[in-house]
Structure 1
Amino acid sequence: MTKATALTEETAHRTLVAVCRRVGFDPAGAELIRIGSNAVYRLAKPVIVRIARDGETAGNARKQVAVARWLAAENYPATRALDVDQPIELGGHVTTLWESASEEEEYAPLAQVAELIRRLHELDAPPSLALPQIEPFAKLDGYMPDLERVDRSDAAFIRQRIEHLQGRYEELDFALKPGVIHGDANVGNVILDRDGNPLLIDLDSFCVGPREWDLVQTALFYERFGWHTEDEYRQFVDIYGFDIMSWPGYPVLAEYREISMTLWLSQKAVSDEGAANEVHKRIEAIRTGGSRRDWAPF
């Protein structure tokens, strides 16, 4: 693979055109849905093109495609990988292609999110899928260079906090049986298709680990951010069958997620003043125990 270039709208579009030429698709009229960890385009035909940011490996992309095909074989409602030879490595980036489930990105109700997580946790992945074990702190290590872009005292605090958090994590006694997990399960990764049916998307973090990882964000969004109502959260708990907030290890996973969300945003801090201010605000809230209700989504 050629040396990666920074993922900007310009480089992403250049890669999009090259990939479409490779597979015989027309890039004309492609819509850039978002650019973050991936640049995500919707073509004029019902196809989604995901172009990975620097550091994304072809191995992870192959895993996503393999997971999608396994879930399809299980008749599990998830995003479907196109039947083409992929991933595609061009322009220093790794690209995958997917069926477009809808022309709009509408998120599923939380009750349907709970149902999809519960159904996923009932599946046993075949050994041939070779899913990796979850390594949450290795992921945080990958964000460490981005801390050079934020305030020095903020960076020092977060490094110290991660070290303390890792010690607490290693002492956790998980309540649920480990197994296959989405790894980033939350309302933002369950959309409605054209017929109004929920689909699990974004298979990047699929792995094997404690099932609590797929429950913590919903609890965090309810308890600390106020993004879900109490009724929505209680319905989520009833459908899934376990309340992670009743488990003593919940605060550890919740703080991990807050730090992970903040570090992910720090990669934008050098070129986006709004992102830089948001990173500082979030770190100050973690430092002081302040409210998370004003954390802005990015």
Structure 2
Amino acid sequence: MPAVRLVDVPQPVEVDSCPVTFWEELPPHEHGTTTDVAQLLLQLHTLPAPDFDLGHLRPFVRISERLEAAATLDRADVSWLHGLHQELEAAWADRPAGRRDCAVHGDAWPGNLVRLIGGGRRIMDLERFSLGPPEWDLVSTAVRAKTTGAVTATEYDTFCETYGYDVTEWDGYGILAGARELRMVTYAAQHAASHPGWAEQAQHRVDCLRGRRGPRPWNWKGIL
């Protein structure tokens, strides 16, 4: 699998009570595309199960902590988001049957892969790599097309054609899309507390989920 590689040295090491790892430097590269994402996910999702424990996907990890840190949001909005979190967790546990669990990246979008100038691609940011439903990886691009407006209809059609499946046609799409949207909202809200310039975008995302900004797709701007 074309992914970033650890340097072959004893690691991790501890620095100021934090674990530090060392990775091979990437050759000259550029950002990948949604088509690159589809090609790499197709390759990843067809790999045989590993003979070691990858752990299982945790789609709601850090949501509660992010909401506690969302100092720029009105408390009524925070309370509503907590309720949405609980509803989505319950729905996730009872979601419709989908494709067989496999190795998933966990946060698959063009920002987490690169295209090498000399040819080839590399997946990066393996923090959420685990066993889980492949639909979770596919939903990232679907949400960027159907919710945030970051992916055009043509780009999304090509993504689906390349992978061979359109996750929006699955009965469980709304649940996974809701979880992904909640992650994107709480991520913005958490960081707005320390970056005041992002507070407007964080509030905009909340307003969208609460029905104050009309129907999808919405214009969500990237942060960081």
Q: Who is 2:26 aligned against? A: 101
Deviation of residue 206 (structure 1)? 0.5
**Does the 8 Å CA contact 2:145/2:156 hold for their aligned counterparts?**
yes
How many Å separate the matches in 1 of 2:222 and 2:33? 18
Deviation of residue 254 (structure 1)? 1.1
**Does the 8 Å CA contact 2:70/2:193 hold for their aligned counterparts?**
no
How many Å separate the matches in 1 of 2:28 and 2:73? 37
The TM-score normalised by the length of structure 2 is 0.90
Q: 1:233 aligns with which of 156, 164, 169?
A: 156
SS at match of 1:205: coil
**Does the 8 Å CA contact 1:107/1:191 hold for their aligned counterparts?**
yes
Q: 1:257 aligns with which of 180, 193, 197?
A: 180
Which structure would you say has the larger Rg?
A: 1
Which amino acid letter does the alignment assign opposite residue 232 of structure 1? E
How many Å separate the matches in 1 of 2:197 and 2:217? 17
**Does the 8 Å CA contact 2:31/2:113 hold for their aligned counterparts?**
yes
Residue 4 of structure 2 corresponds to residue 86 of structure 1: no
Consecutive unaligned residues of structure 1, counting only runs of 5 or more, are: 1-75
For 1:243-294, what per-residue CA distance to the aligned partner results, in whole angstroms no more than 9, with x for missing partners?
1010121111112111111212222222221222221111111001635532
How many Å separate the matches in 2 of 1:274 and 1:284? 17
SS at match of 1:136: coil
For 1:102-136, what per-residue CA distance to the aligned partner results, in whole angstroms no more than 9, with x for missing partners?
345x22232221111010011124232x1111122
Q: Who is 1:293 aligned against? A: 218
Residue 124 of structure 2 corresponds to residue 201 of structure 1: yes
For 1:79-122, what per-residue CA distance to the aligned partner results, in whole angstroms no more than 9, with x for missing partners?
11111222222013222221222345x22232221111010011
For 1:26-76, what per-residue CA distance to the aligned partner results, in whole angstroms no more than 9, with x for missing partners?
xxxxxxxxxxxxxxxxxxxxxxxxxxxxxxxxxxxxxxxxxxxxxxxxxx1
C-alpha spacing 1:293/1:138, structure 2 compared with 1 (3 Å): closer
> After TM superposition, where is structure 1 displaced by more than 3 Å over at least 4 residues in a row?
none
Residue 40 of structure 2 corresponds to residue 116 of structure 1: yes
How many Å separate the matches in 1 of 2:14 and 2:163? 39
Which amino acid letter does the alignment assign opposite residue 118 of structure 2? D
Residue 20 of structure 2 corresponds to residue 77 of structure 1: no
Residue 75 of structure 2 corresponds to residue 163 of structure 1: no
Which amino acid letter does the alignment assign opposite residue 205 of structure 1? R
Q: Who is 1:37 aligned against? A: none
Q: Who is 1:267 aligned against? A: 190
RMSD between superposed Cα atoms in Å? 1.8
**Does the 8 Å CA contact 1:178/1:208 hold for their aligned counterparts?**
yes
SS at match of 2:147: helix
Report the number of matched residues. Answer: 221
Quick one: percent identity of the two aligned structures?
A: 32
Which amino acid letter does the alignment assign opposite residue 34 of structure 2? L
How many Å separate the matches in 2 of 1:262 and 1:151? 14
Deviation of residue 167 (structure 1)? 2.0
Q: Who is 1:281 aligned against? A: 204
The TM-score normalised by the length of structure 1 is 0.69
**Does the 8 Å CA contact 2:57/2:132 hold for their aligned counterparts?**
yes
Deviation of residue 226 (structure 1)? 2.1
**Does the 8 Å CA contact 2:146/2:217 hold for their aligned counterparts?**
no
Alignment of 1:132-151 (within 5 A): 132-148=55-71, 150-151=73-74
Which amino acid letter does the alignment assign opposite residue 219 of structure 1? A
Which amino acid letter does the alignment assign opposite residue 220 of structure 1? V
Deviation of residue 219 (structure 1)? 0.6
**Does the 8 Å CA contact 1:165/1:252 hold for their aligned counterparts?**
yes
**Does the 8 Å CA contact 2:2/2:121 hold for their aligned counterparts?**
yes
C-alpha spacing 1:292/1:172, structure 2 compared with 1 (3 Å): same
The structure with higher relative contact order (CA 8 Å, sep 6+) is: 2
